[in-house]
Amino acid sequence: MQWNLRLKAAERGIWKSTELRRRLAEAGLEISAGKMSGLWTGTPTTIRLDDLDIICTVLNCQPSDLLICEPEKVAARRPTQRTHATADGVAVVRPRLGRNRTTPPA
């Protein structure tokens, strides 16, 4: 996912993170300077749904306007599946489940 906060803020005439932070505080959301920096620079680690709701209200947008899906990144992270040939030559896909662990000591 890509975070699109700065573009949506700019569309509303908000050019500085301090201005958005002030407007969010007026709407009831107090954000620390560090968390605001992460939101503004596009590197938020987490965001609560209640907070997202207030941000969307202040910016007059939908969550889908702020969160942009990147399916190519998801595809790149997908693990490869192993195939095994059977007697009749048809490949069978067997997913890897968990890690190959040893049994615990007795």
pLDDT (tens digit, 9 = 90+) per residue, 48-85?
Answer: 999 999 999 999 999 999 988 878 877 777 776 555 55
Domain positions in the chain are: 2-68
Q: Which residues contact 23 (CB under 8 A, 6 or more apart)?
A: 14, 58
Given this model, what pLDDT does residue 2 score?
Answer: 78
Q: How far apart are CA 39 and CA 55, in angstroms?
A: 11
Instruction: Specify the CATH number for 2-68; select among 1.20.58, 1.10.10, 1.10.260, 1.20.950.
Output: 1.10.260
Per residue in 35-48, pLDDT (tens digit) is: 999 999 987 778 89
CA dist., res. 30 & res. 22, Å (int) = 9
Q: Report the C-alpha dihedral over residues 56, 61, 62, 68, rounded to 10 degrees.
A: -100
Mean residue pLDDT of the chain comes to 83
Question: Could you tell me if 3 and 64 are in contact, meaning their C-beta atoms sit under 8 angstroms apart?
Answer: no
pLDDT at 84: 57
